[in-house]
A and B are shown apart, each in its own frame.
Chain A
Amino acid sequence: MGVVPIKSRRGEDKRMITKLNATSIMVLDKDEALDFYVNKVGLEKGQDIKQGSYRWLTVRVPDDPGTEISLEEPGPPVHDEATAAQLRELITKGALGGLVFQSDDVRGLYETLKARGVSDFTQEPADRFYGTDMGIRDPFGNAIRILQPKKVAHAAKA
């Protein structure tokens, strides 16, 4: 059962995947998204590179440079106009996937977000069996959840 580890030449086990390097989220406007995710949510700007007409624009969690979140707009050359229109429909219906972040103080962040003018809360901070979480939407309709995991005493490893 489970994944069979790959053996390296020296014989030690290698896991095939070690980290999430980048993910992406569909937005209607990259500049507006950058403003929201950096100035409202509190992420930092990552890559901002123009390649011809394409702009590779990412944000990431400050002090955690491991995972880039690429902000992607529907449209050519990646999507034909009909596909882009469908994607815009789905984004604004909130029907595409979102992002889940962690925080060490969800209730404090909630106050900060309100002070920064965020009003689209899908859920005020609430306590669950796995921690405290809250939900917001970005300006386009994507769901963002922020979780403060419950601290659990780590059982001693056998």
Chain B
Amino acid sequence: MNRRVLRARDAMDRAYAEPLDVRAVASVAHLSRAHFIRCFRAVFGETPHRYLQRRRVERSMFLLRETDRSVTDICFDVGFTSSGTFSRTFREIVGETPSDYRVEHEPMLPPTCLQMAAMRPVVAAGVAKRSSTFGIAAAAAAP
């Protein structure tokens, strides 16, 4: 079971920039949506949605540090579909705005794989651990 859920997590790490639907990710593990969310949480200690958010935020932090792309471009580069959701999620997880983060941080030297493994932000203190599905970002993106 661990191995299957890990495979689904790998799929998120690979395809974070694409619009991801929890059902599609669950199918990588050959599990139903609800069972997948339960199993993922049991194995990795957070919901798949939160994992993906933290991956997307980590990649946005990387692009903020390493590139001159605009915050809005970076938001879409890493798979967010609305800049409002991106700013809110970034602030919630990192504890500051993307622009403030960019000003304070410079490019890092460790290889990307280590950065991806080690730099995925933990949720800033005091943030409630809500978040269960992929639905939030999708709903926010609806016109």
Decide yes or no whether A120 CB sits under 8 A from chain B: yes
Given the interface pairs A89-B2, A92-B2, the reply to whether A137 lies near B10 with Cβ below 8 Å is yes
Q: Mark A95-133, 1 if CB is under 8 A from B, else 0.
A: 000000000000000000000000011111010101001
Interface majority SS (helix, strand, loop, mixed), chain A: strand
CB distance from B18 to the nearest CB of A (A): 13
Residue of A122, A130, A133, A147 near B10 (CB, 8 A) is A122
Interchain CB contact under 8 A, A141 and B3: yes
Say yes or no: A92-B111 contact (C-beta < 8 A), given A121-B14, A124-B14, A137-B10.
no
Residue of B nearest to A92 (CB): B2
- Chain A residues contacting B6 (CB-CB under 8 Å) are 92-94, 137, 141
What's the Cα separation between A93 and B51 when bound, in Å?
14
Q: In terms of DSSP, what is the predominant structure of the interface of chain B?
A: helix
Cβ B2 vs Cβ A141 within 8 A: yes
Report how many A-B pairs have Cβ atoms within 8 Å.
41
Report if A122-B2 is in contact (Cβ < 8 Å); known contacts: A128-B111, A130-B111, A133-B113. no
Which residue from chain A places its CB closest to the CB of B3 in the assembled complex?
Answer: A92
Pair A123/B113 contact, Cβ less than 8 Å? yes
Task: Decide: B2 and A145 in contact? CB cutoff 8 A.
Answer: no
Q: Are the C-beta atoms of A123 and B14 separated by less than 8 Å?
A: yes
10 A-B residue pairings within 8 Å (CB atoms) = A89-B2, A92-B6, A93-B6, A93-B43, A94-B6, A120-B10, A121-B10, A122-B10, A137-B6, A145-B113
